[in-house]
C-alpha cells in the first residue's frame, strides 16, 4: 500500500511500515494499539445516528471499513513476504545441520568401533585377572563360576592395557564372596560328622545335604536338624528290627538245638536198646526199663512201648494164642477205603497193613497258649496230654 493510500485513511496507521519486519512490528504492538484506540475515540465514531448526522456516520463507517481492509491486506502481504525468507532460512539451516551431522556420524561410528574393541579388551584383562585370583586363593571349580561379563568400563583398565585398581578391587570382591561360601561349605561338611555322631547315627555324606548345602545359615541348620531327626528315627527302627530278628533267630537256634539233642539222644537210645529189648528176658527187660527211666520221656517213649510189648510176649502162655483187638484197625481201614479212589479194589493190598494192624500217622495241631509260653513248654504240655489219654499211641516222636 502506497503512502498516499495511508494518508487518505482517517486513522493513523503510519506505524505499519513495509520496511519493518514482523518481529519489529510485534515489538511495537502496544504503540500501534494505543494509536488506533485513540483515533477510535473521536466523536465521529462514537455518536448516535440521527437524521442530522446520518451522512457523517455513514462516511465514518466507510472510513473504518477501508482502514480494516488496509490492515488485513498489510497482514497478508507481510506474512507472505516473510514466509519466503523463513522457508529459505529453514532450508539453509537444514543444510548446515546435514553437513555437520554427516561428519558427526563418521566420527561416532569410529568411536563405536573403538569403544567396542576397548570393551572387549577390558573384559579380557578382567577375565585374566579373575583366573589369576582364583588360582591364588585356591578356589575350587564348583565355586569358580564367577561372571565378569559386565566389567567392560574403561576405568577397569589402564592406558597401557593392564588391570586398573578399580578392576582389581571388583574382581577380588567377587572372588572373595565365593571363597567365603567355599569355606562355609567346607566347615559345614567338617562339622557334619560330629553332628551325626553326637546324635548316635552314622556320618552322612555330602549327597545327603546337597539340596540345602549352600543355603543361608538359618535355613541350613533347620533343614539339617530335620534330616538328622529322620535318620535317628530310621536307625532306631532298624535297631529294633535287628534285635527282633536276633531274638527270633536265637529262639529258633535254641529250639533247634533242643530238638537236635532230643533226636540225637533218641537215635542213640534206639541204637543201644532196641535190639536188646526185642531179645531180652524178664530180668534184663526190668534192668532196661530202669535205665530208660533216667532219660527224657519223649526220647524213650517208643522204646518203653517196645518194652511193654516184649513184656507181654514174655508173660503170655506159650500155648495160648493171645486174642488181638482188631476193631481199631478195621475202623481205620474203613476210613481209608472211603477216602481212596474207587479204582482201588483191595485196600489191604495197596496200604500194606502191618501184622499188628497199626500204622504211623503224622498230625498237625493248632492250639492257643499264653503269649509268653516257650516252644519247650508247649511241647511238654502236649506230651502230658497224650500220656494222660488211654488211647494206645506208640512210637510218639516230637519234631
Is a pLDDT exceeding 50 seen at residue 233? yes
* pLDDT band per the 50, 70, 90 thresholds, residue 385: low
**Higher-confidence position of 160 and 320:** 160
Among 4-13, 54-63, 315-324, which stretch is predicted with the lowest mean pLDDT? 4-13
pLDDT digits (tens, 9 = 90+) for 328-363: 445 544 554 454 444 434 433 444 556 665 666 666
Set of cell numbers at residue 85: 525468507
Among 64-68, 311-315, 362-366, which stretch is predicted with the lowest mean pLDDT? 362-366
* pLDDT band per the 50, 70, 90 thresholds, residue 324: very low
Query: Would you give the DSSP letter of residue 20?
Result: S
- Number of Cβ within 10 Å of residue 129's Cβ equals 21
Q: What is the pLDDT of residue 338?
A: 53
Q: What is the pLDDT of residue 398?
A: 53
The length of the chain in residues reads 399
Best CA proximity match to 214, nearest among 298, 145, 277, 143: 143
pLDDT digits (tens, 9 = 90+) for 262-283: 889 899 999 999 999 999 999 9
Q: What is the percent of the chain where pLDDT is above 70?
A: 76
Q: What is the pLDDT of residue 302?
A: 92
Among 115-119, 138-142, 172-176, 348-352, which stretch is predicted with the lowest mean pLDDT? 348-352
* pLDDT band per the 50, 70, 90 thresholds, residue 175: very high
Q: What is the pLDDT of residue 329?
A: 46
**Higher-confidence position of 247 and 369:** 247
Is a pLDDT exceeding 90 seen at residue 17? no
**Higher-confidence position of 229 and 388:** 229
Distance CA 126, CA 172 (A): 10
Distance CA 194, CA 203 (A): 8
Contacts of 265 (CB under 8 A, 6+ apart): 295, 296, 299
| Alpha-helix runs per DSSP H in the chain | 3-7, 22-27, 29-40, 54-136, 165-198, 206-209, 217-279, 282-292, 297-315, 327-339, 347-351, 375-388
Q: What is the pLDDT of residue 345?
A: 42
Q: What is the pLDDT of residue 199?
A: 84
Set of cell numbers at residue 211: 539340596
Does residue 163 sit in helix, strand or coil? strand
Q: What is the pLDDT of residue 318?
A: 60
Residue appearing with cell numbers 582364583: 134
Among 59-63, 88-92, 206-210, 388-392, which stretch is predicted with the lowest mean pLDDT? 388-392
Best CA proximity match to 123, nearest among 115, 133, 135: 115
* pLDDT band per the 50, 70, 90 thresholds, residue 148: very high
- DSSP assignment of 258-289: HHHHHHHHHHHHHHHHHHHHHH--HHHHHHHH
Q: What is the pLDDT of residue 304?
A: 92
Cα angle 128, 129, 131 (rounded to 5 degrees) comes to: 65
**Higher-confidence position of 375 and 350:** 375
Cross-strand bridge partners of residue 93: none
Contacts of 369 (CB under 8 A, 6+ apart): 377, 378, 381
Is a pLDDT exceeding 60 seen at residue 235? yes
**CB-CB contact of 143 with 181 (8 Å):** yes
Is a pLDDT exceeding 90 seen at residue 152? yes
Among 13-27, 62-76, 111-125, 361-375, which stretch is predicted with the lowest mean pLDDT? 361-375
Best CA proximity match to 268, nearest among 294, 290, 300: 300
What is the number of alpha carbons within 13 Å of residue 220 lying toward its C-beta? 15
Note every long-range contact of 148-154, with CB atoms under 8 Å and residues 24 or more positions apart, other chains counting: 148/123, 148/174, 149/123, 151/122, 151/123, 151/126, 152/119, 152/120, 152/122, 152/123, 153/122, 154/118, 154/122
Distance CA 222, CA 47 (A): 103
pTM of the model: 0.41
> What mean pLDDT is predicted for residues 97-111?
88
pLDDT digits (tens, 9 = 90+) for 49-83: 888 888 888 988 888 888 888 888 888 988 888 88
* pLDDT band per the 50, 70, 90 thresholds, residue 384: low
Is a pLDDT exceeding 80 seen at residue 229? yes
Amino acid at each position: 500500500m502506497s503512502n498516499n493510500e495511508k494518508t487518505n485513511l482517517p486513522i493513523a496507521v503510519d506505524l505499519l511500515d513495509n520496511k519493518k519486519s514482523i518481529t519489529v512490528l510485534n515489538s511495537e504492538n502496544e504503540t500501534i494499539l494505543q494509536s488506533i484506540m485513540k483515533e477510535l475515540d473521536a466523536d465521529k465514531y462514537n455518536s448516535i445516528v440521527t437524521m442530522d448526522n446520518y451522512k457523517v456516520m455513514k462516511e465514518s463507517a466507510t472510513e473504518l471499513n477501508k482502514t480494516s481492509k488496509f490492515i488485513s491486506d498489510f497482514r497478508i502481504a507481510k506474512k507472505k513476504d516473510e514466509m519466503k525468507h523463513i522457508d529459505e532460512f529453514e532450508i539453509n539451516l537444514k543444510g548446515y545441520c546435514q553437513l555437520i551431522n554427516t561428519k558427526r556420524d563418521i566420527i561416532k561410528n569410529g568411536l563405536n568401533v573403538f569403544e567396542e574393541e576397548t570393551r572387549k579388551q577390558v573384559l579380557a584383562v578382567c577375565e585374566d585377572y579373575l583366573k589369576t585370583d582364583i588360582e591364588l586363593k585356591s578356589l575350587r571349580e564348583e565355586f569358580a563360576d564367577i561372571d565378569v561379563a559386565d566389567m567392560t568400563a574403561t576405568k577397569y583398565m589402564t592406558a597401557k592395557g593392564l588391570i586398573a585398581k578399580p578392576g582389581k578391587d571388583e574382581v577380588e570382591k567377587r572372588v572373595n564372596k565365593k571363597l567365603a561360601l567355599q569355606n562355609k561349605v567346607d566347615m559345614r561338611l567338617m562339622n557334619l560328622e560330629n553332628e551325626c555322631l553326637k546324635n548316635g547315627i552314622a556320618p552322612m555324606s555330602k549327597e545327603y545335604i546337597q539340596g540345602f548345602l549352600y543355603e543361608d545359615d538359618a535355613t541350613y541348620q533347620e533343614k539339617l536338624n530335620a534330616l538328622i531327626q529322620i535318620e535317628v528315627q530310621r536307625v532306631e527302627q532298624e535297631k529294633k528290627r535287628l534285635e527282633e530278628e536276633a531274638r527270633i533267630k536265637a529262639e529258633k537256634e535254641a529250639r533247634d538245638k533242643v530238638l537236635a539233642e532230643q533226636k540225637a539222644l533218641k537215635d542213640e537210645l534206639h541204637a543201644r536198646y532196641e535190639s536188646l529189648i526185642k531179645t531180652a528176658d524178664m530180668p534184663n527187660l526190668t534192668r532196661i526199663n530202669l535205665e530208660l527211666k533216667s532219660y527224657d520221656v519223649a526220647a524213650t517213649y517208643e522204646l518203653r512201648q517196645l518194652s511193654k510189648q516184649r513184656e507181654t510176649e514174655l508173660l503170655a502162655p506159650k500155648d495160648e494164642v493171645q486174642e488181638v483187638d482188631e476193631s481199631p484197625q478195621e475202623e481205620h481201614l474203613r476210613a481209608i477205603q472211603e477216602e481212596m479212589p474207587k479204582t482201588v479194589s483191595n485196600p489191604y493190598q495197596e496200604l500194606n497193613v502191618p501184622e499188628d494192624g497199626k500204622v504211623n500217622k503224622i498230625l498237625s495241631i493248632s492250639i492257643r497258649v499264653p503269649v509268653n509260653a516257650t516252644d519247650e513248654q508247649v511241647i511238654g504240655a502236649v506230651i502230658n496230654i497224650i500220656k494222660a489219654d488211654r488211647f494206645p499211641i506208640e512210637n510218639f516222636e516230637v519234631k
